[in-house]
Amino acid sequence: MKSLPCLSQRQMSLALSLYIGLALNSANLMRNAMAGGGLEITSALLSAIALVGFCYLLISAFSLFGQTLYKTLASFTLLVSAAASYYMIFFNVVIGYGVIVSTLTLDTDLNGEALGHEFFLWWTLTGIVPVVLLWCTPLSSSIYQRMRGIKHMPPEYASLGYSSLKYYARRSIPILCCLLAVNLCIKTIVHLTENQARKNNQYTASIGGVIAHSYLPTNWIASLAIYVHQLGKEDKSNKQLFDPSKHFTYQPPGTLDDLFVVFVIGETTRWDHMGLFGYERNTTPLLSQEPNLIALRGTSCDTATKLSLRCMFVRENGTADDDQRTLKERNVFAVMRKLGFTSELFGMQSEAWFYSSLDANSYEIREIIASQYAHSKRPIDDMLLVDQLEKSIHKYKQGKHLVVLHTKGSHHLYSQRYTREFARFTPECMDIDDTCSREQLVNSFDNTVLYVDHMLKTVFDKLRDKNALVFYVPDHGESIGENSHFHATPKELAPPEQFRVPFLVWTSDKFIAQPQNQQLIANLKKREDNNFLPHHEQIFDSLLGCIGYSSPDGGIKAQNNWCSDNPTSMAFDNHPASLSQR
């Protein structure tokens, strides 16, 4: 077999740069170029030049560490870029921090459902094959070796009287040209885009950030860097977070000894696919018959599970407004523990970092719950959480008890979220490798809503004879298109449907029968009648407020408390522009 020709590392770096910067980005570059007129075409062309330049700078930097590390780091860049390109090309996914953090989570069950035979075929052809060729290609000496001394300078340069400084200056010309090209291209795109925006009197997001999120490998590198940085921040103890229970006074309405509070965290379910809100299909036949249910069309604080779990249970501004939603405060569940509640959490997901932040008496992740049914014929789905709820209520039958249920809800693969008797809308999208039409995806998604309807009704049934309050709020919405089913788009770029989540509050007859609760629920009902638009950032104040807590020193913001009689908060939308304009 004829061996592959020997290449210099500069030649290999250029080949890899053209492959990653142009070939793997070609579909997105073409898509963006065809999205509009001259500005879009110019921006795509300049982006292509900038991408090749950036890739050359990145891969050339690998040469500083020797040939083995050069090939190792280049292989890693190739494999990750090839994997990301599959979802960018075929599903039009924006690779942001939310996608990276969802990929790197320990939840292998949900991650595995996003991988099919077509993905592995694509990854093999576009990632593994180039990596094999890279390792089989002999390379000449690296920059690392040449930096070790003048003796490594090629004889032809030494004979011409080159000093080591002059030699390396000459070798740096391609690097300097790439730096200049990248800088000039980005500045030109920013200038053209901002001029167009001013001309049309439009607001424009950070152009550099949009470009970084749009193409390989800058999208996943930037997001991975944020993720690594965030891991360091999350190593801090919760004791370093601001604890509202230590800085504010929370006064209970009276005795709460027999109260059960259940918070069901939904997953991906959208209010505009629920019959309860006027959707053309009756996807919520059971919820629609609940007389004690109040339903509000709401907005999520972010578009990925881990990000929303950070920002939806703390006070408004309890997280930083950065891509990673850095936590600054303790969540409402931890505060309820300080107020004397016992609590348990049961999750069909594996967000252990979040579960531990509740300071619950105990929590169980999906694998622990599923192991209890390993030898039964029951499907491993959200209905198992109802069994855990029943056990928890029996265990803490004295009351003043909180149960948090973290569901799989409407997460793709949709058809795996419900049992066959709930496959009411057909045809469905049944397999990750299927090329599914929008109709199939919507049918399957709507079937998941039917199952959510069934699950919530069963939760209510377990609590009807008790003094109970139930909240149901999903973490984010979902974009559904032709062979497309994704969320986790950076919040600045995300379409509206990724923020659409229902806010449901159910109360038992015993809860409503108590005089102090009747006015609270009446206030909440007024908001429903006024088409009030709640936001995740109000859950902290509203959960405590609807239980009946008050805070004379500002621990509960009346404007964010759905159960308060504050006239300002009764308005159609009383939120700051940063919340209202999502």
Mean pLDDT by 10 residues, the chain (582 residues): 76 94 93 82 92 94 88 96 90 73 62 76 96 91 54 52 59 84 92 78 62 86 78 61 96 92 98 97 98 97 94 95 90 97 93 89 83 69 95 94 97 90 94 80 96 98 98 96 72 90 98 94 95 96 97 95 79 48 48
- pLDDT for residue 258: 95
Helix, strand, coil in percent for the chain, rounding step 5: 55, 10, 35
Give the up-direction half-sphere exposure of residue 504: CA atoms within 13 A in the CB hemisphere. Answer: 31
Give CA–CA dist 169/167, Å, rounded: 5
Give CA–CA dist 80/12, Å, rounded: 18
Tokens of 530: 């006024």
Give CA–CA dist 505/456, Å, rounded: 11
- pLDDT for residue 482: 57
- pLDDT for residue 147: 52
Instruction: From residue 78, give the alpha-carbon distance in Å to each of 15, 20, 178.
Output: 12, 7, 20
Give CA–CA dist 342/404, Å, rounded: 11
- pLDDT for residue 231: 66
Phi then psi dihedrals of residue 575, to 5 deg: -100, 160
Strands 484-486 and 479-481: antiparallel
- pLDDT for residue 108: 58
- pLDDT for residue 82: 95
DSSP state of 395: H
Tokens of 285: 């036949």
Tokens of 570: 């009764």
pTM of the predicted structure, to 2 decimals? 0.74
Amino acid letter for position 184: L
119 burial (CB, 10 Å; 0-12 / 13-18 / 19+) is middle
Residues forming a β-bridge with 401: 260, 342
- pLDDT for residue 2: 55
- pLDDT for residue 255: 84
